[in-house]
Amino acid sequence: MQARLTTKELELATALQIDHEKNIHIANHTAHIARLEQALSEVEPRMRELVARSAQLDRVYSSTTWRVGRLVMLPVRLLRRIFRST
C-alpha cells in the first residue's frame, strides 16, 4: 500500500528540492568564478610583459637608426622582391 503525500508535504518536498538545486547552482557558480580568477591571475603577468615588449618595439621602429637602416636596405629589398616574383 502506497502512502499518498498531503499537499503540505508535497509543497515542503518541492521547496526542499528547489533549495537543493539552488545550492548546487551557487556552488557551481562559485567554482566557475574561482576558475576564472585563477585564469586571469595567470594571464595578467603575460599581458604586462606583452605590453612592455610592444612599447619597446614601438621605440625601436620610431628610432632614427631603424628608419635609416630601412632606407639604406630599400634597394636590396626591392631586388629580392623582383627576383622572388620571377
Looking at this protein, which amino acid is placed at residue 10?
L
86 pLDDT band (50/70/90 cuts)?
confident
- Tell me the per-residue pLDDT of 17-38, one tens digit each, with 9 for 90 and over: 999 999 999 999 999 999 999 9
pLDDT value at 1 more than 70? no
- Tell me the per-residue pLDDT of 39-68, one tens digit each, with 9 for 90 and over: 999 999 999 999 999 999 999 999 999 999
Torsion angle of the four alpha carbons 72, 73, 76, 80, in this order, in degrees rounded to the nearest 10? -160
pTM over 0.85: no
CA 85 to chain centre: 40
Query: What is residue 75's DSSP assignment?
Result: H
Question: DSSP letters along 2-67, please?
Answer: PPPPPHHHHHHHHHHHHHHHHHHHHHHHHHHHHHHHHHHHHHHHHHHHHHHHHHHHHHHHTSHHHH
pLDDT value at 9 more than 90? no
pLDDT score for 74: 96
